[in-house]
Amino acid sequence: MVIRECAPLLTRIVNPQARSTLVTDILSLSSNNSSGGRELQGFFQRMSNKSLPDALKKCILDTFGEPLKASLSADVTINGLTFSTSSKHLGNSSILLQSGVGGHFIPARIEYIASILCNDHDESTAVRYVAARKYQPAVVKYDPFIAFPLLQAGLFSQMLDELELYPISAIDCHFAHLPITWEDQKMMVVISLSRVSESFQQQRICRIDPFW
Amino acid sequence: MEIQSDIRKLIRPSWLTSVPANLGQASHGKLKADQWRALGTIFLPVSLLRLWSNVKSDDNVLSGTNSRSIRCLKILEITLHLVSAVTVATSRTTSSTHAAAYFQHMLAYLEGLKELFPDYKFTANHHFALHLYEFIKFFGPVHSWWTFPFERVIGMLQRISTNYKLGKYLWFIVR
């Protein structure tokens, strides 16, 4: 039990938080696509849906139509990059969701990371989700970033939508954002930190695994 | 000052290469290549577009009476050509379309530079930059062949403590 409780600390020692763009490339070599939910097996026994935050319980109920058991975690590592909840690290919680449309991105903020148990009696059915709120699009007369699509930047409102569940695979990348006042409204400039130029994804001819 | 303030205010993930908040002062020393890249492709475009794009709606600019604003706008334009070129060139995926876009942006940047600063003396690196699109086409994404790994190894070797006496340590062990 003590070792289990210390798991986050031990993980941090073995896999320290990257502080450089180049280090994340190296970490991606030794990581799986996602740290998954399996390491949390056993935690569901003491974590029922009763101990979950009300907003998350409602979100699970709305999504699955029934109250399911879930276990919360503060972060998840995908391809060597750490994604956290907003209460832990606002920058690491800022994610772009895949929109399915080339060059289009949807910024959101992770509120909770939950492994949801689809079958009460089988912990292997746990699937990890992020509960996130999307940032609302900006309603402005002039967005200077539209003219430069290769920058993958744009204006968004600082207002957030309702909490929604997304599978881990829906996370595309992190984004950086700068809160500003634009046309007398509270806005933020969102800039994608994707390692791929979105505008050209359709014409890609070769791809390498991040190495250097 | 505005750019320094934006560097402090920009909310970013912990893995993103940090840039000195007191940018422009001698105290932070020379920036590393990756810091220049982060500064040029993330911090500067956000700040410069915020600061200088507003002059588009300025009546003085439209009437041509504010030459400084027009110049700022032109500098912004060529800077963003350079940023776009770097973004495309460092993409993890590449194609002939990427290579062509890189060339167009780099050429536009260099032509703009020549127009705005006629006395500026171009260096060999500017010439080399125009050939980079061929390498992107031939060799693929730059991450597979750029020299940052060598730089990192050199840095690692430089940090190893040594007494600057070749072979002495080995001789000591053998004895």
Question: Which pLDDT value is given to residue A182?
Answer: 87
Higher-scoring residue by pLDDT: A205, B68: B68
- In terms of average pLDDT, the best of A72-86, A119-133, B12-26, B114-128 is B114-128
Question: Which pLDDT value is given to residue B32?
Answer: 84
Percent of chain B beyond pLDDT 70? Answer: 88
Question: Which pLDDT value is given to residue A150?
Answer: 83
Residue A10 placed within a domain: no
Answer yes or no: do A176 and B16 touch at CB < 8 A. Answer: yes
Question: Which pLDDT value is given to residue B170?
Answer: 56
Task: Count CA atoms closer than 13 A to B89's CA, side-chain side.
Answer: 22
B64-85 average pLDDT score: 83
Contacts of A62 (CB under 8 A, 6+ apart): none
**Confidence bin at B34 (pLDDT 50/70/90):** confident
Question: Which pLDDT value is given to residue A27?
Answer: 57
Q: Which of B3, B8, B12 to mutate to test the interface with A (most CBs of A within 10 A)?
A: B12
Q: Is the pLDDT of residue B82 over 50?
A: yes
Residue A6 placed within a domain: no
Residue numbers in A near B15 (CB within 8 A):
17-21, 23-24, 81-82, 174
Residue A7 placed within a domain: no
B61-89 average pLDDT score: 80
Q: Is the pLDDT of residue A39 over 50?
A: no
| Residue tagged 């127009």 (tokens) | B115
CATH number at residue A29: 2.30.30.490
ipTM value, please give it: 0.75
Give B59→chain A minimum CA distance, Å.
15
Q: Which of B17, B56, B76, B91 to mutate to test the interface with A (most CBs of A within 10 A)?
A: B91
Residue A117 placed within a domain: yes
- In terms of average pLDDT, the best of A37-41, A139-143, A200-204 is A139-143
B69-80 average pLDDT score: 86
Residue A5 placed within a domain: no
What's B81-113 look like in SS3? Answer: HHHHHHHHHCCCEECHHHHHHHHHHHHHHHHHH
Is the separation of the CB atoms in A134 and A106 below 8 Å? yes
User: If 0-12 CB within 10 Å is exposed, 13-18 middle and 19+ buried, where does residue A106 land?
Assistant: buried
**Confidence bin at A36 (pLDDT 50/70/90):** very low
Residue A211 placed within a domain: no
pLDDT in tens, B1-11: 788 999 999 99
Residue A39 main-chain phi, psi, to 5 deg: -70, -10
Answer yes or no: do A206 and B14 touch at CB < 8 A. Answer: no
How far, in Å, CA of A30 to CA of A13, rounded? 15
Residue numbers in B near A205 (CB within 8 A):
94-96
Residue A51 placed within a domain: yes
pLDDT in tens, A40-53: 444 554 455 557 88
Q: Is the pLDDT of residue B168 over 80?
A: no
User: If 0-12 CB within 10 Å is exposed, 13-18 middle and 19+ buried, where does residue A158 land?
Assistant: middle
Q: Is the pLDDT of residue B131 over 80?
A: yes
Q: Is the pLDDT of residue B87 over 70?
A: yes
| Cβ of residue A92 closer than 8 Å to a chain B Cβ | yes
Per the prediction, chain B carries an average pLDDT of 84
pTM, rounded to two decimals: 0.75
| Cβ of residue A35 closer than 8 Å to a chain B Cβ | no
Measured on CA atoms in the order B20, B23, B24, B27, is the torsion positive or negative? negative
Answer yes or no: do A148 and B53 touch at CB < 8 A. Answer: no
DSSP B14-83: TTSPP--TTTTSGGG-PPPHHHHHHIIIIIHHHHHHHHHGGGGG-HHHHTT--HHHHHHHHHHHHHHHHH
Residue range of the domain that includes A151: 19-203
Distance from chain centroid for Cα B32: 10
Higher-scoring residue by pLDDT: B148, A8: B148
Q: Is the pLDDT of residue A121 over 80?
A: no
Residue B21 main-chain phi, psi, to 5 deg: -70, -20
**Confidence bin at A212 (pLDDT 50/70/90):** very low
B16-43 average pLDDT score: 87
Q: Which residues pair with A156 in a beta bridge?
A: A137, A188
Cβ under 8 Å to B: A residues 119-158:
142, 144-145, 148, 150-153
The number of beta carbons lying within 10 Å of the beta carbon of residue A163 is: 18
Number of structural domains in chain A:
1
Is the separation of the CB atoms in A76 and A83 below 8 Å? yes
B89-115 average pLDDT score: 92
The number of beta carbons lying within 10 Å of the beta carbon of residue A116 is: 23
Task: Count CA atoms closer than 13 A to A99's CA, side-chain side.
Answer: 12
Q: Is the pLDDT of residue B130 over 90?
A: yes
Residue A14 placed within a domain: no
Distance from chain centroid for Cα B31: 10
Per the prediction, chain A carries an average pLDDT of 76
Cβ under 8 Å to B: A residues 43-72:
none
Answer yes or no: do A203 and B92 touch at CB < 8 A. Answer: no
Question: Which pLDDT value is given to residue B172?
Answer: 59
**DSSP-based three-state secondary structure for A106:** strand
CA distance between the termini of chain A: 39
Name the E strands within A47-196: 70-73, 75-78, 81-84, 94-98, 105-117, 126-137, 153-167, 171-182, 185-192
Residue numbers in B near A103 (CB within 8 A):
none
| Cβ of residue B153 closer than 8 Å to a chain A Cβ | no
| Cβ of residue B150 closer than 8 Å to a chain A Cβ | no
Token pair for A26:
């190296």
Chain A, chain B: beta-carbon pairs less than 8 Å apart: 152
- Position A187: which residue type? M
Question: Which pLDDT value is given to residue B156?
Answer: 84
